[in-house]
Amino acid sequence: MQIIVDIGNTDAVFGLYNQTSWQHVWRTPARIDEPAQSYEARLRLWLLETNVTLSAVQTTVLSSVVPNLTPTMRTMLTELFGFEPIVVGPGVYPLLPLEILRPHEIGTDLVANALAAYTRYRQNCVVVDFGTALTFTTVSAEGKILGVAIAPGLKTAIRSLFANTAQLPEVPIEVPASALGTSTTHAIQAGIVLGYEGLVRSLVERIRAELHNDCIAVATGGLSGQIPSLKDVFTAVIPSLTLDGVRLIGETVTASQV
């Protein structure tokens, strides 16, 4: 068994993998003010509910884009399982079959997305990750990360409107029936949800054009299914893609130590 941890700006995602498939995936808010003991108690409870003993977990892998939370989670995993986790970062990148753009700048989640897409498809691919940020990571058929585009995520955009205006409410992410909003809620949904549909289509088209239309697109992230009308843009929607990439990084590091 493996425990794979992907810490994002909004959630920390824990995946339990049993050599062939994901058995369980759990999410909890990524809070830098929470002590290691709180995360440990949560993980213990999840494992208890699934009848998995601590001794059954042989590997842990940690990816984090929240530097202040990384030591907390690293300490928690070490103390809970009795061994250090593999931590994704520039130190392990030379072991990967990727040519990585600016290794000390690129997010570990984006590297994981690129590796998962490259391993799965072996062709030019743009991974669109619908998270706190909306990211577009393009990897070539040869395993070179060609570039990244970043925009605010759907929830981030809605919360920004709510936080910076006096009269606009925070609204659910739902596709409105019309682009002509007839209420404040529908107006925001039309502007942001339908607007983001256009943003995703436009950027994917531009990326494909720069690669002479030789590029597939894959969606991932917690909000990847929130805009159903984008289904035709993607070859696949794979919510676990980032976790798959983190797992593959861990397996590559482990294999290099044998």
Burial class (CB in 10 A: 0-12, 13-18, 19+), 193: buried
- Which tokens in the block code for residue 244? 């798959």
Give the residue, 139 or 131, on which the prediction is more confident: 139
Average pLDDT, the chain: 93
- Which tens digit of pLDDT belongs to each residue from 161-212? 777 776 767 788 888 888 898 888 888 888 888 889 999 999 999 999 999 9
pLDDT value, residue 56: 96
pTM over 0.85: yes
Please give the Cα distance from 152 to 132 (Å, whole number): 7
- Which tens digit of pLDDT belongs to each residue from 39-68? 999 999 999 999 999 999 999 999 999 999
- Burial code (b: 16+ CB inside 10 Å, e: under 16) for 41-66 equals ebbeebbeeeebeeeebebbbbbbbb
List residues with catalytic annotation.
Answer: 109
* pLDDT interval class at 235 (50, 70, 90): very high
Across 15-36, average pLDDT:
94
pLDDT value, residue 166: 67
Local structure of residue 99 (DSSP, 8 states): B
* pLDDT interval class at 80 (50, 70, 90): very high
Across 29-42, average pLDDT:
94
Rounded (10°) CA dihedral 13, 20, 62, 75: 90
Burial class (CB in 10 A: 0-12, 13-18, 19+), 102: exposed
Please give the Cα distance from 212 to 217 (Å, whole number): 14
pLDDT over 90, % of the chain: 76
Across 145-155, average pLDDT:
94
Please give the Cα distance from 109 to 11 (Å, whole number): 13
Rounded (10°) CA dihedral 193, 198, 201, 204: -100
